[in-house]
Amino acid sequence: MNALLAQLNAWAGVGAVVAIALSLGALLWAWRLHRRVRVVSPDMRRFVREMEGKSFEAAVGDLLGALQTSAERLTALEQHAEQTDRLLRRSVQKVGCVRYDADEEIGGALSFALALLDGNLNGLVLTSIHTFRECRLYMRPVAEGRCALPLIPEEEQALEEAKRHGDAGEQPHTTVQPAAHGGRMTRSRRR
């Protein structure tokens, strides 16, 4: 019996050491969990505040309702974005401009051909011919990058510049041409 008591005393010391080690491990584990909860706690605190006075099922139902509302709003925003994209395709996106002297007596490149196209290459070419006696304005429709009416060279050049250089966000390319009938030559520039 004495041997049994001696063995129990020896095991009691080992058991105490194991119990202390387990207690320290549990304390360390609790401390780490506390740190993790502190990181999540702003969201958890808000959730708990919103849950006060409600059952868990009611709180989850409210969250699911909010999620459904968000999904509906997202769908509406996607539809609005598609509609805006369709409208933008029809807005002026490509611009080409050629300034020139239609009358050698005047100079100053007062005449111009301006091509305005949408994303589908539909639009118009607007031409102003300024002479000493008068100023005339012409408009020619453009469909799919082509005009069914005959164009003067400056109009053709403005149309090609709009198709080539007029991508959205890019500055319009303006070309200044020499006079149509042997007038003085002006320089080409990019604005």
Span 74-113, pLDDT tens digits: 999 999 999 998 888 888 989 999 999 887 777 788 899 9
Does one domain contain both 80 and 112? Answer: no
Does one domain contain both 67 and 113? Answer: no
Distance CA 184, CA 43 (A): 74
Domain span at residue 126 reads: 94-176
Does one domain contain both 157 and 115? Answer: yes
Is residue 14 domain-resident?
A: no
Distance CA 111, CA 132 (A): 11
Does one domain contain both 78 and 146? Answer: no
Dump pLDDT digits (tens) for 139-188. 999 999 999 999 999 999 999 999 987 555 555 556 666 544 443 333 33
At 168 the pLDDT is: 52
Does one domain contain both 111 and 172? Answer: yes
Is residue 159 domain-resident?
A: yes
Give the number of domains in the chain.
2
